[in-house]
Structure 1
Amino acid sequence: MLREGIFLTKNNKFWRLVVGLVSLALLLIVSQVATPAQAATNHNGADFTTSASVTNGPDFKHKDTIKVQYNLDFGNTPIKSGDTITLDFPENLKGKTPGDTFKVYDEKGVVIGEAVVSDTGVVITMNDKLEGKTNDKLTLNLDTKYRYEDTGEKDVNFPLENNGSSTSQINVVSDEANLSKKGVIQDDGTIKWTILVDRREVDLKNLKISDTIGSNQELIPGVTVSDGEWSTTTSYKRKKPALVEGKDYDVNYKDNGFDMTFNDTVDHLIVIDYYTKITDPALIDSGYKFKNNAVMNWGGGVNGGPNSEEANGNVSSSNGNSGSGGGDHVDPDGNHETDEGDPDEETGTGTDDVDGGFVEDKVTTDKDKKTPAKTSPAKPNKKVVAKATTTQTAGKTTANKNTKLPQTNDRNGWFVTVAGFLTLISLSAVLRRRF
């Protein structure tokens, strides 16, 4: 009986220890689950913008690129992986290439975030490369265009930190050109070139177009010529069906381009579409500028001497948007270590291509088959522009640059975890000694 009682006593102690170990294991699991994850924060870029301005100009046609630069300083506000920074363009500017994405680099060429441009602004999603640093800074260079159709001197207002502001003045002027040209790189390694002829819709007799393609391109025979019409003062569309070669116009193809003559006097907008093939695919994503030249000649009959006008087009895989930044390292002793480390003339059509075009002599890409939705022209000073938004998980918007946010590591959670492991080790040692 005595031996049996001793056995039962030891057995009870054993099970109490087992229950204790299981309880500790559950405590460890619960402590890990209960430790809150750091939520991503959507920072309002204006709260950290120390300066912003238009960096070119001051005279712009509606087609011209307006370059803007933002400088941001986050001070003691930490930037964590997944945080987003939203910057809105000034109300009268719009993104030149909505949907464009670009990477933001530090001074060593390390990617610290990725940005997406919209019609109304830019959203940068940061990775973990700035975590543990202070005095984080960003510089963004962005390409925009004037949003409206009016002309004259305009103030471009940028909001700054601490409810400040900065103003740049631009002068929007009318485009008097009769000829213009632009190119768009396609997904299949070709370039779609579009020439707008008789933009001002004046009488052009004996009209001739001579087009010359630049280096690293081959002409793809097949030109589509369409009557065009203006939807607004800055957007156009093509009429269908297309004009007929041999009836409305004649074309002579050359190794580096073509010559085109029109049989009747032209008195309205004409849209010419054709393609070239990029001969060196390595150049597509390199930022190389593919160039093209078009010359329009008319007159020379009994009603007057010959006239001539020229348009140069260029296109690149780079959309002109870029970003850079960095921060100060913090060593274990709390000391900070700081990291050390001419645009071409705009010659595009300067207008919005409403219908996207149609080319009957070439199999079009999927991109060409999609017809953009028609939009009503914006009215100066009346249109309320939606702010740029982010699709990331919603977080708290930082209210002010001077707000100092502490690092959000959950020290209590780690303390419970460490204590639990130490207790588990101690009890395991007791169990081995007793049994």
Structure 2
Amino acid sequence: MKLNSKVWRLLVGLFSLVFLLVVSQTGTPAQAATNYNGADFTTSASVTNGPDFKHADTIDIEYNLNFGSTPIHNGDTITLNFPENLKGKTPGDTFKVYDQDGTVIGEAVVSDKGVVITMNDALEGKTNDKLTLNLMTKYRYEDTGEKDVIFPLENGGNSTSQINIVANEANLSKKGTLQEDGTIKWTILVDRREIEMKNLDIKDTIGANQEMIHGMTVSNGHWENTTTFQREKPAMTEGKDYNVTYNNDGFDLSFNDTVNNLVVVDYYTKVTDPSLIDSGYKFRNNALMTWGGGTSGTKNSEEANGKVSSSKGNSGSGSGDTNETEEPGIDTDEDTGTGTTDTDGGTETDEEEAAREEEEAKEEAAKEAAKKPATKPAKAKSSAAKSKTAKHTVAPVTATENPGATTKTNTKLPQTSDHQSLTGIIGGTLVLATLGLGAVIRRHF
């Protein structure tokens, strides 16, 4: 009888323990993730380049968000929609967001209509989170002229930037796309404006670290709209419609008949140093088109420079203020072959290329400077640095979306003429960036 009593007490004790464990688990449910509308926290937003854009040009936009006392938890998402007349340049691109120590704090996904950032637990317990987004977009429609780009702001406000959409007057353009097999597909658009071109010749010169692959596809084409074209089947025939001579540096392509419509030339080069593919190195190519002349004398000519990089420019970085109560240390263009629809990669003059690359160099220098810890934190000017509740201030970090094929034209908008480098504009804040513009995320185009 005593044995049965002891067994009974043991069973009751085990049951009670299991009951307490179940109750404790159900009594502390996991916190549900929150989907924040970025517009509710946007303090400013604007277009940062321009004001003139061709339909295929990249329109850079910047958002500044301030979450104040609103905490950012694991699983929370921040959704930010583009202005109605803009669209994402690289829909479907996914990239990780890092803090300045290289820790992943979230992941962002770009769509046609905006960007969604899903945060992890790296910012748990931190406050005064701020967000800076530099995104790459394109104009959504086909019309031209001056347009208002309207950004919704917090408290029902809005900010307006003005852009000017202009027609593309180029007759020649070129773009490159990295392939999974270590090759680059180059596409040249010939006679973009569909004017009459007699004695048409294309001299193409490939850049360093590439090897020409013999064989190409030359197709008649037509425009479906201002930025989308279609190759027509069947493709042209070598020897009948055109002749091509290959050399170590590229090729010379001549047309036997007068050309008066869009022509699409597709060919491939092999990357000779595979280590460069994921390094962000820019592979380059140059095409020179000549036509006319004959008995009249001087020929017309036009040049196009193409480039491609494994980096889409989508990257992000950020941090937040640690509270006093916290313990230290707690912390598309897809083409399946001739006959398919493809997207215009835009054009870029030598002057535009030089201006853009100078701007890229400045941005890269700013990123490197931003990665270094502040040596004189006492001079920090951000409100976060002055906060009495902040235990320490994190050095400002920002990143931008800026792929190798980006085209920037003319000067900054008048309303952004005072826009300085993002370095130093935020201290003790959460700074994130996409399409996108820190850490650099290498992706295929």
Q: Which amino acid aligns with 1:321?
A: N
Distance 2:15 2:118 in 1: 42
Give aligned pairs, total: 341
Q: Secondary structure at the match of 2:39?
A: helix
Are 1:338 and 2:392 matched, yes or no? yes
The Cα of 1:93 is off from its aligned counterpart by 0.6
- Give per-residue Cα distances to partners, 1:36-72, cap 9 Å, x unaligned: 2111111111111122111111111111111111222
User: 5 Å matches for 1:49-198?
Assistant: 49-198=42-191
1:19 aligns with 12
Residues 146, 164 of structure 2: 8 Å contact kept: yes
Q: Which amino acid aligns with 2:217?
A: T
The Cα of 1:345 is off from its aligned counterpart by 9.3
Residues 138, 326 of structure 1: 8 Å contact kept: no
Residues 139, 323 of structure 1: 8 Å contact kept: no
1:432 aligns with none
User: 5 Å matches for 1:391-402?
Assistant: none
2:222 aligns with 229
1:241 aligns with 234
Instruction: Identify the range of structure 1 (176-185 vs 65-74) with the bigger mean alpha-carbon deviation.
Output: 65-74
1:355 aligns with none
- Give per-residue Cα distances to partners, 1:175-194, cap 9 Å, x unaligned: 01111111111111111110
Q: Secondary structure at the match of 1:338?
A: coil
Q: CA, structure 1 residues 17+101, in 2 after alignment: closer, same or farther (shift >3 Å)?
A: closer
- Give per-residue Cα distances to partners, 1:133-177, cap 9 Å, x unaligned: 001122221111111111111111111112121111111100011
2:321 aligns with 328
The Cα of 1:195 is off from its aligned counterpart by 0.4
2:199 aligns with 206
Q: Secondary structure at the match of 1:312?
A: strand
Residues 143, 319 of structure 1: 8 Å contact kept: no
Q: Secondary structure at the match of 1:229?
A: strand
TM-score computed with the length of structure 2 as normaliser: 0.72
Residues 65, 346 of structure 1: 8 Å contact kept: no
Distance 2:222 2:35 in 1: 44
- Give per-residue Cα distances to partners, 1:360-394, cap 9 Å, x unaligned: xxxxxxxxxxxxxxxxxxxxxxxxxxxxxxxxxxx
The Cα of 1:299 is off from its aligned counterpart by 0.9
Q: Secondary structure at the match of 1:53?
A: strand
Q: CA, structure 1 residues 29+205, in 2 after alignment: closer, same or farther (shift >3 Å)?
A: same
Q: Which amino acid aligns with 2:75?
A: G
The Cα of 1:304 is off from its aligned counterpart by 5.4
Distance 1:271 1:66 in 2: 26
Q: Which amino acid aligns with 2:285?
A: N
Distance 1:16 1:274 in 2: 82
Residues 312, 347 of structure 1: 8 Å contact kept: no
Distance 1:283 1:101 in 2: 21
Q: CA, structure 1 residues 259+238, in 2 after alignment: closer, same or farther (shift >3 Å)?
A: same
1:277 aligns with 270
Distance 2:260 2:131 in 1: 51
The Cα of 1:303 is off from its aligned counterpart by 4.6
The Cα of 1:325 is off from its aligned counterpart by 1.9
Any runs of at least 4 consecutive aligned residues in structure 1 with deviations exceeding 4 A, and if so which?
10-14, 342-348
Distance 1:347 1:323 in 2: 18
Residues 96, 144 of structure 1: 8 Å contact kept: yes
Distance 1:11 1:240 in 2: 90
Instruction: Identify the range of structure 1 (249-258 vs 230-239) with the bigger mean alpha-carbon deviation.
Output: 230-239
Distance 1:252 1:331 in 2: 71
**Structure 1, unpaired ranges of 5+:** 1-6, 349-435
Residues 125, 326 of structure 2: 8 Å contact kept: no
The Cα of 1:22 is off from its aligned counterpart by 2.1
Q: Secondary structure at the match of 2:20?
A: helix
Instruction: Identify the range of structure 1 (33-42 vs 260-269) with the bigger mean alpha-carbon deviation.
Output: 33-42
| CA radius of gyration, larger in | 1
Distance 2:403 2:325 in 1: 48
Q: Which amino acid aligns with 1:220?
A: I
Q: CA, structure 1 residues 226+315, in 2 after alignment: closer, same or farther (shift >3 Å)?
A: same
Are 1:31 and 2:32 matched, yes or no? no
- Give per-residue Cα distances to partners, 1:49-101, cap 9 Å, x unaligned: 12211111111111111111122221111111111111101111111111111
Distance 1:201 1:333 in 2: 66
Q: Which amino acid aligns with 1:204?
A: M
2:337 aligns with none
Are 1:262 and 2:316 matched, yes or no? no
Are 1:306 and 2:299 matched, yes or no? yes
Q: Secondary structure at the match of 2:75?
A: coil
Distance 2:113 2:406 in 1: 24
Distance 1:281 1:217 in 2: 10
- Give per-residue Cα distances to partners, 1:207-251, cap 9 Å, x unaligned: 100001111111111111001111123211111111111111110
Q: Secondary structure at the match of 2:285?
A: strand
Distance 2:314 2:165 in 1: 22
1:413 aligns with none
Are 1:292 and 2:288 matched, yes or no? no
Distance 2:14 2:188 in 1: 79
User: 5 Å matches for 1:404-415?
Assistant: none
Residues 140, 322 of structure 1: 8 Å contact kept: no
The Cα of 1:31 is off from its aligned counterpart by 2.5
Distance 1:20 1:103 in 2: 49
What's the Cα RMSD here?
A: 2.2
